[in-house]
Amino acid sequence: MSDILIYVQHLLGIGHVRRVALINAELCRLGMTTTVVTGGIPDASLDFGSDNVIQLPPCRTADSGFSGLIDEVGNPVDEAWKQRRKQALFDAFNVVAPKLLMVEMFPFGRRAFRFELLPLLDKAGQAGIPRICSVRDLLVRKSDRSKEAWMRDIARSHFDRVLVHGDPALFDFGRSFPFANDIADLIEYTGYVAPKADFAAGERKGVLVSAGGGAVGTALIEAAIAARPLSSRFADQPWDIVAGPHFPREAFQRLEENLPTGINLHRFLPDFRERMAHACVSVSQAGYNTLMDVLATGTASVMVPFADGGESEQAERAAILAGKNVLSLLDPDDLNPQSLANQIDRAKNPVKLDISLDGAGITAAKLAERIRGKA
C-alpha cells in the first residue's frame, strides 16, 4: 500500500520522469509513500524517485512525429495488448489501494491512453479517491479545437484538481489552452518544478551539451562536436557531451570512435546539474527540465528547440524566455556547426526571473494536505 499512486507515461523524452522524481523526493520528505506506475520502455538509468515502481507492458512512440504506439520490440500495439495493459493497471491500483491518484499530463496529453486511464479514473472516483492531474505550463498547440474541448470536458468530469507546474507571473495556462477559463476553479499553480539551487559555487569552465533523453538529439550532438574548433572562446576548453539514454546506439558508437581530443562523450551523467553549475555555457534542446536546470544554476545557455511532428511547446517556451534574456535561442532550421559556435560564444548569463521554482515542494504539500483532509 502507498499513500499516492502516480501514473506517468514517457514516449520520447524523459522530462516527465524527472519532474515526477523531484516531486517524489519532496513527498518522501513530508512522510508520504508513493508508488509510480510507468508504461514507458524500461531503462536502468531512469530514476522515478520512488522505492516502489510498477512496470506496465511498455511502449513508446513509433517516431518523432508521434504517428502511433509500438511495444518494446517494435510491433504496433493492438487491442489485445491494450486489454492486457488495462488489466495490469487495474491490478496495480487494487494492490496499492492508494489514498490519492495523480495522473501526469492526461487529459492535456497522452490521449492515446484514454483506453486505460478513463476506466482507472472512473474506478478511483467511485471509491472516493481524489484524482489529481499534474501538467506542465505549456501544451502542444492543437489545430483541432474539438480535441481541446474534449480535454476540458474530461478535466471537468474526471479530476478534482489540475496542478499546473508553472507560474502565472510568467504566463498562465490559458496561453496554450483556450478553455482554461472553463476549468479555472480546478486549476492551481505550483510554480516551476526545478532542482534545489544548492550547488557549490566555483570556477566555471568549458561547455556542457545535452540532448535530454537523446531519442531525437543526433543533429544537435553532431553539430556541437563539430562546433568546438570553430568557437573563439571555448575551442581550448573541455566540452562534455551528454547524448542521453535513448540516443541511437549505432550513432553513439560512431561518435565514440571518431571523438576529437578535448571532448568527453557520455550517455548519462548522474551529477548533470552539478556539471551545469560549473560550465560556462549549456547547450541543449529546450525541454522543461533543462530550462529549470539553467534557471536553478544560473548558467548561460543556448537552446535549440525540438519541433518535429508539430511539437510547439519547446519553441514557444524558449522564445518567451529568450525575450526576457534568460537564454540564447537558435532555430533548429538554422542549426549547423558555425551557427552553433557563434551562439555559444555570444551566450550570456541568464537574467534572474521573479518566478517560483519550488514547484516540487508546493505540489507535494498540496497532495499531502489533501490526503490529510486539510484541502
Write the pLDDT tens digit of every residue in 106-149: 999 999 999 999 999 999 999 999 999 999 999 988 888 999 99
> Would you state the torsion angle of the CA atoms of residues 269, 251, 280, 352, taken in this order, to the nearest 10 degrees?
-80
CA distance 147 to 149: 5
Helices of type H across 200-284: 218-227, 249-257, 272-277
The pLDDT value given to residue 65? 64
Q: Which residue has the cell 495493459?
A: 85
Cα three-residue angle 37-40-42, rounded to 5 degrees: 95
Q: Which residue has the cell 548561460?
A: 300
CA distance 163 to 12: 23
Q: Where in the chain is the domain with CATH 3.40.50.2000?
A: 4-192+357-371, 207-346
Higher pLDDT, 46 or 322: 322
Q: 3-state DSSP call for residue 15?
A: helix
Whether 374 shows a pLDDT value over 70: the answer reads no
CA distance 32 to 369: 11
Domain covering 207-346, topology: Rossmann fold (3.40.50)
**CATH level 2 (architecture), domain 4-192+357-371:** 3-Layer(aba) Sandwich (3.40)
Dihedral sign for Cα atoms in the order 369, 10, 288, 206: positive
The pLDDT value given to residue 214? 67
